[in-house]
C-alpha cells in the first residue's frame, strides 16, 4: 500500500487515490488487518448460513398448538439471516477476499451449531442459543475492528442489533412453555 495521505493535502490525496486502483475500496487509509477481517467475515458468513438452514428446517418442522405463529417467526428470521449473509459476502468481496460458501466447511467455520431440535420448544431454544452466540461473536468482532474499519464495523453493528431483536423475540416465545433451564 502507498503512504496514507494527509486529508488536508488535496494534491497528495488525489495522487494516492490514483495508485493501486485494482484494490477498489481498500485504500491506503485502510488500517485493519484485511486478511484477519476477511477471515472473521467468512466465519460470520458461515454462522449466518447455518442459521438460515436451521431456521428453514424449523419453519417446515414446526408442529403443535403454537406452530403457526412460531413458524412464521422462524421464516422471518431465516430471511433476515440470509440478508445478513449477503451483506457479509458483499463486504468480503469489497475487501478483496472471497466469500466461502463451501457447504462442507460451513459447520466447521460457523460459531453457531446446526441443532435440529425435536420439539417446538427445543427449536426455539436452539435458535435462541445460536442468536446469543452470534451476539457475543459480533460484539467481539466490533471490538477487534475498533476504528480501523468503520464500514465493516457499522455493518456488523447493524446485524448485531437485529440478532439482539431475534434473541428477545425467541426468549418471549419461550415464555409460553413450562420453565426449564
pTM metric for this prediction: 0.87
Check pLDDT > 50 for residue 152. Answer: yes
What percentage of residues in the chain have a pLDDT greater than 70?
Answer: 93
Q: Which of 47, 67, 50 is nearest to 121 (CA)?
A: 67
The dihedral formed by the CA atoms of 23, 29, 45 and 142, expressed in degrees to the nearest 10: 180
Tell me the domain boundaries of the chain. Answer: 37-174
**8 A C-beta contact, residue 78 and residue 28:** no
37-174 CATH fold: Ferritin (1.20.1260)
Q: What is the pLDDT of residues 12-43, one digit of tens each?
A: 878 777 787 777 777 778 888 999 999 999 99
CA distance 79 to 58: 13
Q: Does residue 180 surpass a pLDDT of 80?
A: no
pLDDT(51) > 90: yes
Torsion of CA 71, 79, 125, 165, to 10 degrees: -110
- Give 86-96 pLDDT, tens digit per residue: 999 999 999 99
pLDDT at 1 over 50: no
Instruction: Please give the C-alpha separations between residue 69 and each of 15, 64, 75, in angstroms, as whole numbers.
Output: 58, 10, 10
Amino acid at each position: 500500500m502507498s503512504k496514507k495521505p494527509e486529508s488536508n493535502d488535496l494534491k497528495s490525496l488525489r495522487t494516492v487515490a490514483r495508485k493501486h486502483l485494482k484494490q477498489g475500496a481498500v485504500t491506503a487509509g485502510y488500517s485493519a488487518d484485511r486478511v484477519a477481517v476477511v477471515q472473521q467475515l467468512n466465519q460470520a458468513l458461515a454462522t449466518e448460513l447455518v442459521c438460515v438452514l436451521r431456521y428453514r428446517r424449523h419453519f417446515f418442522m414446526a408442529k403443535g398448538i403454537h406452530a403457526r405463529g412460531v413458524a412464521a417467526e422462524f421464516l422471518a428470521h431465516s430471511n433476515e439471516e440470509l440478508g445478513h449473509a449477503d451483506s457479509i459476502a458483499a463486504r468480503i468481496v469489497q475487501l478483496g477476499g472471497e466469500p466461502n460458501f463451501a457447504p462442507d466447511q460451513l459447520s466447521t467455520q460457523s460459531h453457531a451449531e446446526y441443532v435440529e431440535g425435536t420439539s417446538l420448544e427445543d427449536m426455539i431454544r436452539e435458535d435462541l442459543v445460536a442468536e446469543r452466540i452470534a451476539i457475543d461473536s459480533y460484539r467481539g468482532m466490533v471490538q477487534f475492528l475498533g476504528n480501523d474499519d468503520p464500514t465493516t464495523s457499522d455493518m456488523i453493528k447493524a446485524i448485531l442489533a437485529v440478532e439482539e431483536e431475534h434473541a428477545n423475540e425467541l426468549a418471549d416465545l419461550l415464555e409460553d412453555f413450562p420453565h426449564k433451564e
